[in-house]
């Protein structure tokens, strides 16, 4: 397998439903800073602008929110053929028996790596992914479709494109947890191997006035920001040793949460 290059755009923030802000983004290990701005609306769309450089090793990130059954998030530019795309998805008031259809504009169907619902507060976290992405001719987008659901949910999504994973990259392992805890929100540990890309997502409820941070060894994909009373945070780690690892976040207050972690290789 190819080595995943740690060139990830970090730092975006979702604000109140129907808006989008992306800022302070740069490549890990590099001094350059790219600035991002975009917009979203209650009809279910979001966008970002700009991309990490580095020739064929580029990464894009965008995010959006919607109070709708469909949410489309548009990346700054077209996805590169053979890359890897992963999304962090939060759904509030969702029907847990319905799995959304997730596709990108290049025709790739994203598979669900893992999902969990915290039934006490009706929030869920999930991860979807696709390897060996098809080439796209314009700014690529990812759409989440919950049209099979009766009620209208509240959605938040972060989309990240990585380069450096093998075209055959697949799910190595995953785990999830839904509970209330302080200060650690964890997916639970599962086996990982050196060279894996570990991706973690947490959704939590009643987040006003608190703060959240990635656990040691992880980097936040975007700062955590409340959307009404529900928030989403995503983190990643490029695994360097074989063993057991959990996606963990550190919270400043005791909150209900739903956390998932997945490793890809």
pLDDT digits (tens, 9 = 90+) for 69-105: 999 999 999 999 999 999 999 999 888 899 999 999 9
Q: Which residues contact 55 (CB under 8 A, 6 or more apart)?
A: none
The residue that leads in pLDDT, 44 or 71, is: 71
Do 198 and 245 meet the contact criterion of CB atoms below 8 Å apart? yes
**145: pLDDT strictly greater than 70:** yes
The residue that leads in pLDDT, 146 or 185, is: 146
User: What is the DSSP code string of 16-80?
Assistant: STT--EE-SEEBTT---EE------BTTTEEE------STT---EEEEEEESSSEEEEE-SSPPP
Do β-strands 212-214 and 70-74 pair in parallel, antiparallel, or remain unpaired?
unpaired
**17: pLDDT strictly greater than 60:** no
**257: pLDDT strictly greater than 80:** yes
So what's the pLDDT on residue 31? 23
Q: What pLDDT digit, counting tens, does each position of 163-177 carry?
A: 988 899 999 999 999
Helices (H) and strands (E) in the chain, counts: 0, 24
Lowest mean pLDDT among 36-45, 115-124, 130-139: 36-45
Give the whole-angstrom CA distance, residue 203 versus residue 137: 33
**243: pLDDT strictly greater than 80:** yes
- Percent of the chain exceeding pLDDT 70 equals 74
Q: What does the mean pLDDT of the chain come to?
A: 78
Lowest mean pLDDT among 13-17, 81-85, 247-251: 13-17
Q: What pLDDT digit, counting tens, does each position of 188-242 carry?
A: 999 999 999 999 999 988 766 567 788 889 988 876 656 677 889 899 999 999 9
The residue that leads in pLDDT, 251 or 237, is: 237
So what's the pLDDT on residue 222? 73
The angle at the Cα of 81, spanning 79 to 83, to the nearest 5 degrees, equals 75
What is the pLDDT averaged over residues 5-29? Answer: 29
**2: pLDDT strictly greater than 70:** no
What is the pLDDT averaged over residues 133-148? Answer: 94
């Amino acid at each position: 397998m190819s080595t995943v290059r740690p060139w990830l755009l970090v730092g975006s923030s979702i604000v109140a439903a129907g808006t989008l802000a992306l800022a302070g983004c740069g490549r890990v290990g590099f001094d350059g800073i790219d600035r991002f701005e975009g917009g979203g609306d209650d009809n279910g769309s979001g966008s970002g602008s700009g991309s990490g450089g580095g020739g064929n090793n580029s990464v894009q990130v965008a995010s959006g929110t919607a109070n709708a059954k469909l949410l489309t998030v548009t990346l700054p530019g077209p996805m590169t053929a053979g890359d890897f795309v992963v999304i962090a998805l939060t759904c509030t008031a969702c029907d847990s028996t319905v799995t959304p259809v997730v596709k990108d504009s290049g025709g790739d169907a994203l598979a669900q790596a893992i999902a969990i619902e915290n039934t006490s507060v009706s929030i869920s976290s999930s991860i979807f992914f696709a390897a060996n992405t098809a080439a796209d001719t314009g700014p690529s987008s990812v759409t989440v479709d919950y049209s099979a659901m009766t009620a209208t949910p509240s959605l938040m999504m972060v989309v990240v494109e990585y380069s450096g994973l093998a075209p055959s990259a697949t799910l190595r392992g995953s785990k999830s947890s839904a509970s209330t805890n302080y200060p650690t929100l964890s997916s639970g540990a599962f086996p990982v191997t050196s060279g894996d890309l570990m991706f973690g997502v947490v959704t939590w409820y009643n987040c006003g006035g608190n703060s959240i941070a990635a656990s040691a060894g992880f980097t936040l994909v975007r700062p955590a920001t409340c959307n009404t009373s529900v928030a989403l945070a995503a983190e990643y780690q490029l695994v360097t040793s074989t063993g057991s690892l959990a996606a963990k976040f550190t919270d400043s207050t005791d909150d209900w949460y739903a956390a998932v972690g997945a490793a890809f290789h």
